[in-house]
Amino acid sequence: MTERSFGRLAGRTALVTGSSRGIGRSIAIGLAREGATVVVNHSGRDATPADSAVAEIEAAGGRAFAIAADIGEVEDCHRLVAESIQVLGHIDIVVNNAGICPAHEFLDLPLDLWQRVQDVNYRATFIVSQLCAQAMVERGEGGRIIAISSISAVMGGSMQAHYAPTKAAVASLMQSISIPLGRYGITCNSVLPGAIESDLTKEGWADPVIRATNEARIPIGRAGTGDDVMGAVVYLASDEASYVTGSTILVDGGLYAFLH
């Protein structure tokens, strides 16, 4: 089988940054389940989780490739898109998911840590989206550009003075680029996850007091999962969302509504 002939994304191709673990992994697996051939990107620190994501997709009858590239580095962003086009043929869907959130107090936040968070979370989203958009425009078949922002984009976050603004920036970027890219049939949207249980947040969720406090503020009554976010991404990637662009979708179990 070279590609799935069924599913909402049959015959499509997708690049998902940071998809070896967490939310990105769920997104890569979900897109593959709908028929897309997927590039699973990881930072290069440890290839094992990416290889296991590829194996999981292939075991289910899908097709995927792992590519190591530290998207905090400009050259790696360029290489990632070039190698993705090489293995996929072209890119129909790009999901800018990779992100880091090393919690730190604002008053003594070091500038090099601030810079690294900007580079991975925001600069990479700009570069990867621009390179993919250029290739999509040249090909003339439209496309989907999606960014995984955060509820922190609309409400700030404690210990997140370096992180939350990058999440507002990527949502704003999707809105801004949806304007010039609309005429090419390329949609640009962002998904704002709420409190999702992943490697990024597992320490907090492991503390029973923090878990109970968090769950009490979420109307749906539980932590979110990667699959919850994946559902919104698959929708935005699909033909059903062809008239949705410049939008943001909150996937937070009602947390924002509760807090406001």
Q: Does 62 bind ligand NAP (CB under 6 A)?
A: no
Using CB under 6 A, which of the segments 14-22, 57-65, 87-95, 207-215 binds ligand NAP? 14-22
143 in contact with ligand NAP (CB under 6 A)? no
Q: Which is nearer to ligand NAP, 20 or 187 (CB)?
A: 20
When asked if residue 171 is in the footprint of ligand NAP (CB under 6 A), the reply is no
Among 195, 230, 237, 255, binds ligand NAP (CB under 6 A): 195
Q: Which of 4, 28, 57, 70 binds ligand NAP (CB under 6 A)?
A: 70
Residues 6+ apart with CB under 8 A from 189: 145, 146, 147, 174, 178, 236, 241, 244, 245, 246, 247, 248, 249
Residues 74-103 that bind ligand NAP (CB under 6 A): 97-101
150 part of the interface to ligand NAP, by CB under 6 A: yes
Contact range with ligand NAP by CB under 6 A, out of 4-12, 132-140, 173-181, 190-198: 190-198
Of 12, 4, 6, the residue nearest 241 (C-alpha): 12
CB nearer ligand NAP, residue 7 or residue 145: 145
* Cα atoms found within 13 Å of the Cα of residue 84, Cβ hemisphere only: 30
Q: Quote the tokens at residue 14.
A: 């997708």
Our CB check for ligand NAP shows the closer of 136 and 223 to be 223
Instruction: Please state, in angstroms and rounded to a whole number, the distance separating the CA atoms of residues 69 and 150.
Output: 23
Binding piece for ligand NAP, criterion CB under 6 A, among 1-9, 87-95, 129-137, 198-206:
198-206
Gap between the Cα atoms of 237 and 230, Å rounded: 10
Q: Candidates 14, 15, 16, 21: give the one binding ligand NAP (CB under 6 A).
A: 21
Distance CA 245, CA 253 (A): 22
DSSP state of 121: I
Counting Cβ atoms within 10 Å, is residue 78 exposed (0-12), middle (13-18) or buried (19+)? middle
CA–CA distance, 11 with 21 (Å, rounded to integer)? 24
CA-based nearest residue to 218, from 251, 249, 250, 258: 258
The first and second tokens of residue 46, run together, are 């440890």
42 touches ligand NAP by CB under 6 A: yes
Sole binder of ligand NAP in the list 198, 214, 238, 245 (CB under 6 A):
198
Catalytic residues: 150, 163, 167
The residue from 7, 72, 143, 253 that contacts ligand NAP (CB under 6 A) is 72
Q: Choose one: 16-24, 82-90, 172-180, 208-216; the region binding ligand NAP (CB under 6 A).
A: 16-24
Name residues whose C-beta falls within 8 Å of residue 37's C-beta, 6 or more positions apart in sequence: 3, 12, 13, 14, 62, 63, 64, 65, 88
Binding site for ligand NAP (CB under 6 A): 17-24, 41-43, 45, 49, 70-72, 97-101, 120, 148, 150, 193, 195-196, 198-201
